[in-house]
Amino acid sequence: MKQADFVSLIMPFKDKVFRLAKRLLVSREEAEDATQEILLKLWKNKEKIVEYKNVEAFSMTMTKNFCLDRLKSKQAQNLKIVHSNYTDNNSSLQKQLEARDSMGWVSKIMEDLPEQQKIIVQLRDIEQYDFSEIAKMLDMNETAIRVNLSRARKTIRQKLNNTHSYGVK
Amino acid sequence: MVLNNIEKLLEKYDNAETSLKEEAELRAYFESENVDAHLEHYRPMFQYFSQSQKEQYTKDVPLNTNKTRLYQWISVAAVAVLMVGFFIPNWGSEIKTLAEYTPEEQKMYLETKHALAMLSNTFNEGASSFGTLSLASENFNIGLEKASHITEFSEITNRLLKN
């Protein structure tokens, strides 16, 4: 497989890999590193991936596993670089700006979801994959995915509703 | 009517029972301007979803081809071939004595030897005639020495004449 073939193979889903990585790792730099790592892994195994039926699903599974490993190792080292553990309640300028922006709320709410639900919302609501595809990627059955997705959507709606009606988080 | 439909869809959506097409419908509705007030709080969610869809990965990935590896090994192979050439110069040929060759080969060998001996003889003759030449050159040298005596003599006479 030539470089050009490989690039055209990964082109349709490299952004999806990046967005999933960013959803899980939060920081943009971390997500970029993870994406690069995954694309290089694919490149190294380029002879083998031709045999896979669905390279995209395979790559998404790889991304999910890679990012979860990354998070686990970071927690083990007690070194969380992501800014979600930033507990300064004296609203900083950054936070004020984000609070004004209602889309910032959604991103905040999604950060608080459990990892499994984050992945499912990302794959379904943002990347718009079929349930069968998601089931393959995550190695789960469709019912479990629906349950998780429903929970996630309800949580997001609830929190959004609260913010919307009271203006508090 | 539309509102009623959307509300139904939203309920299905919350239970994760909507199809991709229905979700696209919802997204389209919340992206439009006329969202009903009591559904307003859904808006940022769908907007966020469609906006995060646009985020792109812009970094370049260095894809190294490993073509160069083959060329690296060519030099190693060349050295190996050379080494084999040095250490095993006559592969598979043992040293034989004269008696082991066929009579024809023996005859040929002797003839060649003879011819070479004759050649060397004539060379020797040539060398001896060089010997006479060297004798002649010795005589020349003696003559030169005598000539130098004469020049010395003439110098002395010149001095005497000056005085």
Q: What's the pLDDT at A45?
A: 85
| Whether B31 contacts chain A with CB within 8 A | no
Measured CA to CA, the distance from residue A90 to residue A81 in angstroms comes to: 20
Residue with tokens 């920081």: A27
Nearest CA of chain B to the CA of A69: how many Å? 21
- Tell me which residue range forms the domain holding A18: 1-86
Q: Within this chain, do residues A145 and A120 fall inside the same structural domain, yes or no?
A: yes
- Spell out a b/e string for A72-101, using b for 16 or more CB atoms within 10 Å of the CB, else e: eeeeeeeeeeeeeeeeeeeeeeebeebbee
Percent of chain A whose predicted confidence (pLDDT) is above 70: 79
Report CB contact under 8 Å: B57, A35. Answer: yes
Same domain, A70 and A18: yes
Q: Do A2 and A26 fall into the same domain? A: yes
pLDDT (0 to 100) of residue A169? 45
For residues A168 and A96, membership in a common domain is answered with yes
Out of A86, A115, A149, pick the residue that ends a domain.
Answer: A86
Contact A57, A10 (CB under 8 A): no
- Output the DSSP codes for B35-100: --GGGGGGHHHHHHHHHHTT-------------HHHHHHHHHHHHHHHHHHHH-SSTT-----GGG
Q: Indicate the number of domains in chain A.
A: 2
Mean pLDDT calculated for residue range B5-21: 87
Q: Which residue is associated with the tokens 């990046």?
A: A18
Q: State the Cα–Cα distance between residues A1 and A46, nearest whole angstrom.
A: 7
Same domain for A116 and A41? no
Q: The domain spanning residue A75 has which CATH number?
A: 1.10.1740.10
Which tokens in the block code for residue B42?
A: 């859904």
Chain segment B34-67, per-residue pLDDT in tens: 777 777 778 888 888 888 888 888 877 777 666 5
Q: Say yes or no for a CB contact (<8 Å) between A146 and B17.
A: yes
Indicate the residue among A29, A58, A86 that finishes a domain: A86
Rounded-to-integer distance, Cα A70 and Cα A75, Å: 9
Shared domain for A92 and A140, answered yes or no, is yes
CB nearest to A160's CB, from B14, B20, B44: B44
ipTM: 0.74
Which of A120, A128, A134 to substitute to test the interface with B, most B CBs within 10 Å? A128
Evaluate whether A62 touches A45 at the Cβ level (below 8 Å). Answer: no
CATH number where A122 lies: 1.10.10.10
**Comparing A83-97, A114-128, A153-167, B121-135, which segment has the lowest mean pLDDT?**
A83-97
A106 in the same domain as A59? no
B32 close contact with A: CB closer than 8 A:
no
Residues 29-58 of A with CB under 8 A from B: 32, 35-36, 39-40, 43
Same domain membership, residue A134 and residue A71: no
| A99 and A142 in a common domain | yes
49-68 of B, contacting A, C-beta below 8 A = 49, 51-53, 55-57, 59, 61-63, 65
- In the numeric block, which tokens belong to residue B102? 């066929």
Last residue of a domain, one of A33, A61, A86: A86
Listed residue (A5, A92, A119, A10) closest to A56, CA to CA? A10
Mean pLDDT score of chain A, rounded to an integer?
80
Distance of CA B37 to CAs A62, B4, B92, Å?
A: 42, 14, 99
Pick the closest to residue B53 from A145, A138, A123 (CA basis): A123
Mean local confidence (pLDDT), B68-84: 85
Contact B42, B48 (CB under 8 A): no
Q: What is the interface size between A and B, counted as CB pairs within 8 Å?
A: 78
